[in-house]
Amino acid sequence: MQQVKKGDTVKVHYHGRLGNGETFDKSEGREPLEFEVGSGMVIKGFDEGVTGMAVGEKRTINIPFDEAYGPRNPEMLIEMPKERFPKDMEIEVGMPLSMSDGQGQQFQVVIAEIKDEVVMLDANHPLAGHDLVFDLELIEIVTKPLIIMP
């Protein structure tokens, strides 16, 4: 029976949870996730978790935060003066916002705290600092068409 190895393209159904059991993402009701193993398309621990699986196999993997989205970085907390927000904008803790850096790159932040004069924005990945648990089911190892050269 064929097992997943680095370089294979696979299709996987998954259910991702935090350590406390809270679901953060799942593929149920959607197409399975397709990616090339070892290419960096998914987090390191996910790549390693599917390696060695056979089609139809189910597995639960635990990924420590350092093999997922890394630790929370206090330098990713940004103080933004309240006056920089539109006057008519209702801001609240937990609200996601898009920002751009000086080079025009867009990135996501979340309002972490609202103080008298400033709003604290958190630019960490939402799953940074969290150990993750994934229930996996390998649906397919995608076979590449054989190309015959004359």
Range 50-66 average pLDDT: 96
Phi, psi of 128 (to 5 degrees): -60, 140
pLDDT band at 117 (very low <50, low <70, confident <90, very high): very high
In terms of Cα–Cα distance, which of 51, 56, 42, 44 is closest to 13? 56
Q: What is the pLDDT of residue 49?
A: 94
What is the CATH architecture of 74-122? Beta Barrel (2.40)
Q: What is the pLDDT of residue 146?
A: 64
HSE-up (13 A, CA, CB side) for residue 81: 2
Q: What is the pLDDT of residue 4?
A: 94
Rg of the Cα trace of the chain? 20
Coil, helix or strand at residue 63: strand
Q: Does domain 9-70+127-142 have CATH number 3.40.190.10?
A: no
The tens digit of pLDDT for each residue in 73-114 reads 999 999 999 999 888 999 999 999 988 877 878 888 999 999
In terms of Cα–Cα distance, which of 37, 13, 36, 11 is closest to 26? 13
Range 125-137 average pLDDT: 95
Output 149 or 35, whichever has higher pLDDT. Answer: 35
Task: Tell whether pTM > 0.85.
Answer: no
Alpha-carbon distance 68 to 50, whole Å? 14
Alpha-carbon distance 127 to 2, whole Å? 33
Mean pLDDT computed over every residue of the chain: 92
Domain boundaries, the chain: 9-70+127-142, 74-122
